[in-house]
Amino acid sequence: MFSMRKGNQYLTLYLASCLFFISNCQSTSSTSSKHHCLPDQSSALLLLKQEFEEGMSSEPVVYYPGNYPKMKSWKAKVDCCSWDGVTCNNKTGQVVGLNLGNSWLSGILNPNSSLFSLHHLQKLNLSMNGFIFSTIPSSFSQLVRLSHLDLSYSNFTGQIPSEISWLTKLISLDLSNFDLHLKGKDLEAISKNMTNMRELHLDHVNISSSVPQALVNLSSLTSLSLSDCSLFGEFPRNVFLLPKLQAIVLSRNVLLIGFLPEFPSRSSLRVLDLYSTNFSGKLPNSFGNLESLNVLNLHNASFSGELPNSIGHIEPLNFLDLDYNHFSGQIPSSIGNLSQLTSLSLSFNNFNGQPPSTLGNLAKLNFISLQSINLHGKIPSFLNNLTQLEFLYLSYNNFEGGFPTSLTNLTKLREIYISRCQLKGPIPSEISTLPQLYTFDLSDNSLSGAIPSLLFTMPSLEKLRLDQNQLTAPLKFKNISSSPLWVLSLGGNALGKMELKIFFDLKHLLYLDLSVFSTLDLIGYYYMSKNYHMPASYWVNAHWTQASSFFYSAHIVHGFLLQESKSLK
Ligand SMILES: *[C@@H]1O[C@H](CO)[C@@H](O)[C@H](O)[C@H]1NC(C)=O
Ligand SMILES: *[C@@H]1O[C@H](CO)[C@@H](O)[C@H](O)[C@H]1NC(C)=O
Ligand SMILES: *[C@@H]1O[C@H](CO)[C@@H](O)[C@H](O)[C@H]1NC(C)=O
Ligand SMILES: *[C@@H]1O[C@H](CO)[C@@H](O)[C@H](O)[C@H]1NC(C)=O
Ligand SMILES: *[C@@H]1O[C@H](CO)[C@@H](O)[C@H](O)[C@H]1NC(C)=O
Ligand SMILES: *[C@@H]1O[C@H](CO)[C@@H](O)[C@H](O)[C@H]1NC(C)=O
Ligand SMILES: *[C@@H]1O[C@H](CO)[C@@H](O)[C@H](O)[C@H]1NC(C)=O
Ligand SMILES: *[C@@H]1O[C@H](CO)[C@@H](O)[C@H](O)[C@H]1NC(C)=O
Ligand SMILES: *[C@@H]1O[C@H](CO)[C@@H](O)[C@H](O)[C@H]1NC(C)=O
Ligand SMILES: *[C@@H]1O[C@H](CO)[C@@H](O)[C@H](O)[C@H]1NC(C)=O
Ligand SMILES: *[C@@H]1O[C@H](CO)[C@@H](O)[C@H](O)[C@H]1NC(C)=O
Ligand SMILES: *[C@@H]1O[C@H](CO)[C@@H](O)[C@H](O)[C@H]1NC(C)=O
């Protein structure tokens, strides 16, 4: 026993020295001119390691690839140029790159940290660490050779020091963080000083200012991301015309005003994201010149006018979201040319007329949302073509006719929302053949007939909302105990007499709505309440439907009815 252990120790030592030797051999043989780490660089790095030693012993909450304490492996006797995350200049041996992104650094980064003595650093990545809400030291301005600096999501807080703008060689700067502030004048200084800037990412940094005109001069800019920065005023329109720009994200700046320019041909823009801004005006006719665009997100802005036909020229478009604007006129049939589209959202606009049947050509569509856009007539038959569809949102329209059985051919459907649409007739029981259906919402229509009992045996259906129709109770309930339903809303129907006890078999039910317009008989309640007394901690708050002045409802936990009858007035 004892000797075996000793043997193992020897083996470990032997292997370790082998590995050390091999790696030494390799590095000297393959690149014989390679310089080793300079002693001052090595000791600066080891001091940096010491500064954060304590934090590294605790483990991060979330694990994913690339997430480990890179500094742990740094050893004094090993050439620092071979340390994890360290890059040296081939010729001089100076440390020029330090990639400690996602490396469990935890603690305060002091202004006197030995990091700031690594004057040759060109690339520095400290993103996704935990600097326990300390401020960004102005000492960063000493690293004058920096071309790349990433301090994103590292739990820094407070004001970003003005001295950052002295780093005139920066071509990539990411300070995205939830708790930082940047002065408007410092953003201007950054824009004026860092003339070679390619990537500027300041998401969630509270800037609370207008956007400096100087951004227009950053002619090398490829990616600009200023999401959720509390920006206001008018965005300088010519930024969109920067020749190398590939991504521009200005989302979540609700006070930011702006307009799109006419776009020249062969624009390199791939991502245009103006989600929740106050950009307005029309999409220009030249919009189709954005021939590289993959992602267009204009959700919740203030655009109006007709969509230009040219939008159908943007062949690579994959994601198109125009929800919550004031677009009007016909939906152009050219949208049917966007064969790469996987997600199409046109909801809550003022379109009129029917959507063009060419949408049936969008064979890759996985998500379609056409809510509240004045649709009438039958549910469009082009939908039958969309065999990849998982999410179908058609609520708040004025359809005539029934729920088309043909939709049950779209076997990938996971969510169907067609509420408030004046649908008539029965719910086809074929719905129960959809193996992945998770949400089925046909509330507030004029549907009639019996609720298909097969809905209660579907393997994936968790949310079923059929309230405010003229449906009658299911004819028979059988084998419903394996149903994963936890939201069941049947109020405002013509259910007739029916024992509540029936629902107790739904083991996962948390929310049952049987509001006042239903004539449900409550025999079951009294029976159950006499026999079961659940501890208060098991109670779950219902999400009350407030459609009526008072209603009956029920809280059900683990299949047991606990309370019903509540009056609101
Ligand atoms: C080392 O220098 C050579 C030639 O200058 C270059 O090709 C190589 O990419 C450099 N290696 C590193 C790691 O910088
Ligand atoms: C910095 O490191 C993080 C985490 O490893 C990585 O996600 C990010 O892309 C890196 N930043 C840059 C600019 O390469
Ligand atoms: C660096 O600053 C911190 C906090 O001000 C201080 O505690 C520490 O002793 C300083 N370290 C050195 C090496 O000066
Ligand atoms: C940063 O702070 C948030 C809380 O605001 C915390 O959830 C997260 O774990 C912190 N990240 C790190 C890397 O410490
Ligand atoms: C630009 O950088 C220089 C140092 O390189 C600095 O002196 C100057 O103040 C900076 N300009 C602005 C507007 O910050
Ligand atoms: C941003 O900072 C300003 C003060 O500079 C403050 O009034 C505002 O509430 C902050 N915005 C957010 C979203 O935190
Ligand atoms: C842009 O650069 C030009 C020439 O370098 C300069 O004249 C102009 O003032 C700059 N514009 C802004 C807004 O900084
Ligand atoms: C959006 O901008 C317009 C002026 O262009 C203004 O009338 C409107 O109030 C703004 N809306 C918001 C939410 O700021
Ligand atoms: C839409 O924009 C308004 C301001 O115009 C904002 O209050 C609201 O939160 C935004 N909604 C979403 C879903 O982003
Ligand atoms: C759409 O494609 C058809 C051919 O499939 C073509 O004739 C038409 O010009 C295209 N429309 C647009 C706007 O790209
Ligand atoms: C359905 O797709 C086929 C090609 O897959 C196409 O020929 C047909 O026109 C489409 N139907 C509709 C209604 O869009
Ligand atoms: C459903 O698909 C089958 C074959 O896949 C087809 O025969 C049938 O006509 C389709 N039903 C409807 C209503 O489209």
pLDDT tens track for 164-204:
999 999 999 999 999 999 999 999 999 999 999 999 999 99
Indicate the domain borders of the chain. 496-569
b/e per residue 491-512 (b: at least 16 CB within 10 A): bbbebeebebeebbbbebbbbb
Q: Rounded to whole angstroms, what are the CA distances from 316 to 240, 288, 291, 356?
A: 19, 11, 7, 20
Q: Does ligand 4 lie within 6 Å of residue 130's CB atom?
A: yes
Q: Does ligand 12 lie within 6 Å of residue 411's CB atom?
A: no
Cα 237 to ligand 5 centroid, rounded to whole Å:
26
Statement: residue 101 has pLDDT above 80: yes
Average of per-residue pLDDT across 31-55: 80
Q: Which two tokens stand for residue 448?
A: 């009639």
Ligand index nearest the alpha carbon of residue 339: 10
Q: Does ligand 3 lie within 6 Å of residue 110's CB atom?
A: yes
Q: CB within 8 A of 402, min separation 6: which ones?
A: 423, 424, 425, 426, 447
List the residue whose alpha carbon is closest to atom 4 of ligand 8. 257
Q: Does ligand 11 lie within 6 Å of residue 385's CB atom?
A: yes
Tell me, what amino acid is at 370? L
Residue 382's SS3 state is helix
Cα 257 to ligand 7 centroid, rounded to whole Å:
23
The residue written with tokens 């939830």 in the block is 178
Residue 13's SS3 state is helix
| Confidence band, pLDDT 50/70/90 cuts, at residue 69 | confident
Q: Rounded to whole angstroms, what are the CA distances from 230 to 135, 207, 237?
A: 20, 6, 18
Is there a contact between 356 and 333 (Cβ–Cβ < 8 Å)? yes
The residue written with tokens 């043909």 in the block is 406
> For ligand 6, what atom is nearest to the CA of residue 206?
1
Residues with CB under 6 A from ligand 2: 66, 101-102, 125, 127-128, 148, 150, 172, 174
Is there a contact between 497 and 475 (Cβ–Cβ < 8 Å)? no
> For ligand 8, what atom is nearest to the CA of residue 302?
1
Q: Which two tokens stand for residue 207?
A: 């800037």
Q: Does ligand 8 lie within 6 Å of residue 255's CB atom?
A: yes
Of 70, 150, 200, the residue with max ligand 2 atoms within 8 A of its CB, to mutate for a pocket test, comes to 150
List the residue whose alpha carbon is closest to atom 7 of ligand 5. 166
**Cα(517)–Cα(395) distance, rounded to whole angstroms?**
22
Residue 431's SS3 state is helix
Start-to-end Cα distance in the chain: 80
Is there a contact between 384 and 406 (Cβ–Cβ < 8 Å)? yes
Is there a contact between 352 and 374 (Cβ–Cβ < 8 Å)? yes
**Among candidate residues 401, 403, 393, the one with its CA nearest the CA of residue 373:** 393
The residue written with tokens 């009992």 in the block is 453
Q: Does ligand 3 lie within 6 Å of residue 405's CB atom?
A: no
Q: Which one has a higher pLDDT value, 487 or 339? A: 339
Is there a contact between 462 and 440 (Cβ–Cβ < 8 Å)? no
Pairing of strands 550-557, 560-567: antiparallel
Cα 362 to ligand 10 centroid, rounded to whole Å:
13
pLDDT per residue as tens digits for the range 134-173: 999 999 999 999 999 999 999 999 999 999 999 999 999 9
The residue written with tokens 């001089």 in the block is 92
Residues of the chain above pLDDT 90, percent: 67
Q: Does ligand 10 lie within 6 Å of residue 355's CB atom?
A: no
Ligand index nearest the alpha carbon of residue 177: 4
The neighbouring-strand residues paired with 257 are: 234, 278
Q: What is the DSSP letter of 401?
A: S
CB atoms closer than 10 angstroms to residue 565 = 11
Q: What is the pLDDT of residue 524?
A: 33
Cα 181 to ligand 6 centroid, rounded to whole Å:
8
Q: What is the pLDDT of residue 290?
A: 97
Lowest mean pLDDT among 18-22, 85-89, 108-112, 191-195: 18-22
Q: CB within 8 A of 5, min separation 6: which ones?
A: none
Average of per-residue pLDDT across 462-488: 88
Of 112, 131, 132, 134, the residue with max ligand 3 atoms within 8 A of its CB, to mutate for a pocket test, comes to 112
Average of per-residue pLDDT across 39-47: 93
Is there a contact between 485 and 461 (Cβ–Cβ < 8 Å)? yes
Of 276, 326, 369, the residue with max ligand 9 atoms within 8 A of its CB, to mutate for a pocket test, comes to 276
Residues with CB under 6 A from ligand 5: 165-166, 168, 189, 192-193
**Among candidate residues 104, 158, 170, the one with its CA nearest the CA of residue 134:** 158
DSSP strands (E only) in 176-309: 180-181, 199-201, 223-225, 233-234, 247-249, 253-258, 271-273, 277-281, 295-297, 302-306
Give the DSSP per-residue string, 304-333: EEEPPGGGGG-TT--EEE--SSEEEEPPPG
Cα 74 to ligand 4 centroid, rounded to whole Å:
25
Q: What is the pLDDT of residue 155?
A: 93
Q: Which one has a higher pLDDT value, 132 or 381? A: 381
pLDDT per residue as tens digits for the range 456-471: 999 999 999 998 999 9
